[in-house]
Amino acid sequence: MDKKILKEIINADLYRYYGENSFKTFLKAFFKMQGFKYTYFLRKSHFYKEHNKKIRYYFFYFCMRRYTYKYGFEIPPACKIGKGFYIGHFGRVRFDPNVEIGCNVNIGPGVTIGPTYRGKNKGVPKIGNIVWIGTDAFIAGKIQIGNNVLIAPGAYVNFNVPDNAVVIGNPGKIVSYSGTDSYVCRRIECNQ
């Protein structure tokens, strides 16, 4: 990944918040939207770690860690996250470092995406494109979440979810195949 691609990814994240990506909008999002500010430092630390630029990596990593403690977002730079990532609200969010997430994914507060250490689903989830994950949802195990999926608030998901599914409940169950409808707004083109 070069700097041009990094800028494109950050602009895609910014677009998801305000529907535009001017410098004025960047400043507005950086100072008003905790999710965007955290994601900005996450993207920069991931980029500089990949390119072995240690001083820059540590600067952005320590900025990101500061906001981890301040906002409660715990997303390691090792996570593979597609462009157009959106953290909707202030509050605890926890990802395992090996999680893979597609583009146009919305995350609510209290979401945990992590591993299962035993059983048939031992491993970490892989999340598709255009996915809305509601408040306090828990996604665990080596499972595949398809594209255009809605995971309702409070859902516990430890099974593969096909495209266009809506999952609710604890334990989670698929209740329809209407997808995200209007839940994921200001989508960007996915070309990962």
As annotated, the active-site residues are 89
- Measure CA 23 to chain center: 23
- Pairing mode of beta strands 138-140, 156-157: parallel
**Which residue shows structure tokens 């516990």?**
156
C-alpha 35/C-alpha 107 separation (Å) is 9
Q: How far apart are the first and last CA of the chain?
A: 12
Looking at residue 128, what DSSP letter applies?
Answer: -
Q: Which two tokens stand for residue 143?
A: 């499972």
**Up-side HSE of residue 131: CA atoms within 13 Å toward CB?**
29
